[in-house]
Amino acid sequence: METPLTRNILPGSEPFSIDDYERRGGYKALRKVLEGMSPLEVQKEVTDSGLRGRGGAGFSTGTKWSGVHLGAGARRPKYFLVNADEMEPGTFKDRLLLEGDPHQLVEGAVIASYAIEADLSYIFLRWDYKLAARRVSKAITEAYQKGFLGKNILGSGYNLELYLHESSGRYMCGEESGLFDALEGKRAIPRSKPPYAVTSGVWGKPTVLNNVETIANVPHIIANGPDWFKGLSKSKDSGTKLYSVCGKVKIPGVWELPMGTVMREIIEDRAGGMQEGFRLRGLLPGGASTDFLLEEHLDAPMDFDSMMKAGSRLGTGGIIILDDKTCPVGMVHNLMAFFSRESCGWCTPCRDGLPWAEKLLEAIETGSGKMSDLDHLAHICRMCAPGHTFCMLAPGAVEPLQSALKYFREDFERHIVEHKCPLKKG
């Protein structure tokens, strides 16, 4: 099984220096691009590979790039941004790539920038990722020293400046247009669309934003071709995928596996199954803002379409396990406390609905809830549906809640009838 994204990563060790990275084939894809491919040819390879964004929504990467106007008449400067803000609870896949193989990301960012003829590029990094900041920063310095960044890269005539920007540390800063605000030094509030980022993004200029894992794939697609990339997968979505598991499993962690690997294999074979004394009750398959699935769904392949069919989303591929000793009401309350704190306050359903849901969940969890609260919670979920808000924070925030009301309704009702959490002693 090939693992292109993680093959250079040695857990517990410093990442490869630029010389070691080059010895292992690094920056060959960049040379290939700059020595003989046009931006449109690079875009075509990526489109043909079927690469879909790994930041959550699964949008076609090549299609996104193709929206940028190329040539002498294009508005400038153009920006290529890497979203390394990774603050979704239960998601820690990009951290592995940032800390473990920063040159892979730098190489991918330069190729992606060339494909849209960007002048400037930023890696927008989660504030808490200090080790990643140090390692990515070192990789950028080395890449400048070797002529992979800056003026006239490898004598091709292409110029690119790449900066590392440390986020101000809110979940909203990871949302596309919230990230633009944060980079501009403003409070992160999503912008209404249109205009779309490819015509008016950061500082009002043409911009493309991609996730770390998305961009880490790009050098491998260029080096090995679209058909090779498609062949890595077990499903119709191409490539490999970084999947992670956290919760009461024996070996929590993150693994690179073929896209479309079934959940059971990830949880049982990779994460070692449940710890002694714990039973699996449910799971959030793609991070904290996806719908719960149950044991009966474990044989579903983890790809974009199969997860939708099962009633959830692939999201980030970060599986969060709900075990039988953890209260689903308490778990959803905990997540809602996070999402309501992180709301930017721009739209009413999110600004008012999420704290209201948090209060109702707290009341139910601590024994003072009423049966009518369940209707109020369902109402808040409907109010926060996609299309009612400027960004996807609120629709994502209610996904665990709406599915918990469906699958664990008895737990909610027992809290209300017994005036306490059934899992709490006394």
Ligand X SMILES: Cc1cc2nc3c(=O)[nH]c(=O)nc-3n(C[C@H](O)[C@H](O)[C@H](O)COP(=O)(O)O)c2cc1C
Please give the residue ranges that form the binding site for ligand SF4 (CB under 6 A). 172, 190, 343-347, 350-351, 389-391, 393-394
351 binds, among ligand X, ligand SF4, none (CB under 5 to 8 A by kind): ligand SF4
Q: Which one of residues 393, 398, 405, 416 is an interface residue with ligand X (CB under 6 A)?
A: 393
CB of 356 to ligand X, least distance (A): 19
CB of 314 to ligand X, least distance (A): 11
Three-class DSSP category at 61: helix
Binding to ligand X by CB under 6 A, coded x per residue (else -) over 21-60, reads --------------------------------xxxxx-x-
Q: Which one of residues 21, 78, 86, 399 is an interface residue with ligand X (CB under 6 A)?
A: 86
Please tell me the distance from the alpha carbon of residue 272 to that of residue 292, in angstroms, as a whole number.
21
Q: Which one of residues 15, 34, 85, 230 is an interface residue with ligand X (CB under 6 A)?
A: 85
Residue 258 has phi, psi (to 5 degrees) of -60, 140
H or E segment at 211?
Answer: strand 207-211
Other C-beta atoms lying within 10 Å of the C-beta of residue 325 = 11
Task: Tell which residue, 306, 286, 219, 267, has the closest CA to residue 24.
Answer: 219
CB of 184 to ligand SF4, least distance (A): 17
Closest to ligand X by CB, 16 vs 390, is: 390
Question: What is the size of the binding site for ligand X (CB under 6 A)?
Answer: 22
Residue 280 contacts residue 323 (beta carbons within 8 Å): yes
Contacting range for ligand X; rule: CB under 6 A; set: 172-180, 236-244, 317-325, 330-338: 172-180
Q: Which one of residues 5, 391, 401, 405 is an interface residue with ligand X (CB under 6 A)?
A: 391
CB of 97 to ligand SF4, least distance (A): 26
Structure tokens at 260: 């479309």
Q: String of b and e for 225-255 (b: at least 16 CB within 10 Å)?
A: ebebbbebbbbebbbbbbbbbbbbbeebebb
Examine residue 189 and tell whether it contacts ligand X (CB under 6 A).
Answer: no
CB of 345 to ligand SF4, least distance (A): 5
Cβ contacts of residue 291 below 8 Å, gap of 6+?
284, 311, 312, 313, 399, 400, 402, 403
Examine residue 175 and tell whether it contacts ligand X (CB under 6 A).
Answer: yes
Closest to ligand X by CB, 258 vs 286, is: 286
Structure tokens at 131: 């080790």
Contacting range for ligand X; rule: CB under 6 A; set: 39-47, 141-149, 173-181, 380-388: 173-181
DSSP state of 156: S
CB of 393 to ligand SF4, least distance (A): 4
Q: Which of residues 55-74 bind ligand X (CB under 6 A)?
A: 55-57, 59
Cβ contacts of residue 342 below 8 Å, gap of 6+?
170, 171, 172, 393
Closest to ligand SF4 by CB, 260 vs 353, is: 353
Q: Are strands 207-211 and 79-84 parallel, antiparallel or unpaired?
A: parallel
* C-alpha dihedral, 196 to 198 to 199 to 201, nearest 10°: 70
Examine residue 83 and tell whether it contacts ligand X (CB under 6 A).
Answer: yes
Examine residue 294 and tell whether it contacts ligand X (CB under 6 A).
Answer: no
DSSP string spanning 298-311? TTSB-SHHHHHHHT
Closest to ligand SF4 by CB, 83 vs 389, is: 389
DSSP state of 88: S
Examine residue 291 and tell whether it contacts ligand X (CB under 6 A).
Answer: no
Structure tokens at 381: 């979920």
Closest to ligand X by CB, 62 vs 369, is: 62
203 binds, among ligand SF4, ligand X, none (CB under 5 to 8 A by kind): none
Instruction: Name the site residues for ligand X (rule: CB under 6 A).
Output: 53-57, 59, 83, 85-87, 171-172, 174-176, 209-211, 214, 391-393
